[in-house]
């Protein structure tokens, strides 16, 4: 997986223009403003099955949150950055709209 692959996946999701409800100020009109150059990030999946792993950050969101692509599950995730700078997956889903709804 490469940054361009992640960006392609994100662009495909954004092109769907699926509606979502988000209480952190993210809207369908401004969602693209949070996009960053994809980069890998070590996270704790917090699922009891996997050890910390690398996922791909695609957006930096309000409240120390990140939107990322999890290549292991082939799904989107909201990642919370904790005070000690470690990261944990807090919401997962099959679509961008699903995880933005769930954060």
Q: Over the stretch 3-21, which tens digit does the pLDDT of each residue have?
A: 999 999 999 999 998 888 8
Q: Name the residue range of residue 95's domain.
A: 3-102
Strand order in the sheet with 87-93: 35-43, 53-61, 65-70, 75-81, 87-93
The pLDDT score that the predictor gives to residue 10 is: 96
pTM listed for this prediction: 0.88
H-helix or E-strand spanning residue 57? strand 53-61
Whether the pLDDT of residue 50 is over 80: the answer is no
How much is the pLDDT for 60?
95
Domain count, the chain: 1
83 has pLDDT over 70:
yes
pLDDT given for residue 47 in this prediction: 67
Q: If you average pLDDT over residues 18-45, what whole number do you get?
A: 90
Quick check: 103 and 78 in contact, CB under 8 A?
yes
């Amino acid at each position: 997986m490469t940054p361009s692959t992640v960006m392609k996946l994100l662009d495909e999701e954004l092109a769907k223009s699926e509606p979502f409800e988000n209480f952190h100020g993210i809207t369908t009109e401004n969602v693209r403003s949070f996009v960053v150059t994809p980069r890998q990030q070590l996270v704790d999946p917090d699922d009891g099955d996997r050890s910390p792993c690398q996922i791909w950050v695609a957006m930096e969101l309000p409240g120390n949150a990140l939107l990322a692509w999890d290549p292991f599950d082939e799904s989107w995730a909201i990642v919370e950055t904790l005070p000690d700078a470690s990261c944990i997956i807090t919401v997962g889903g099959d679509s961008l709209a699903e995880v933005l709804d769930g954060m």
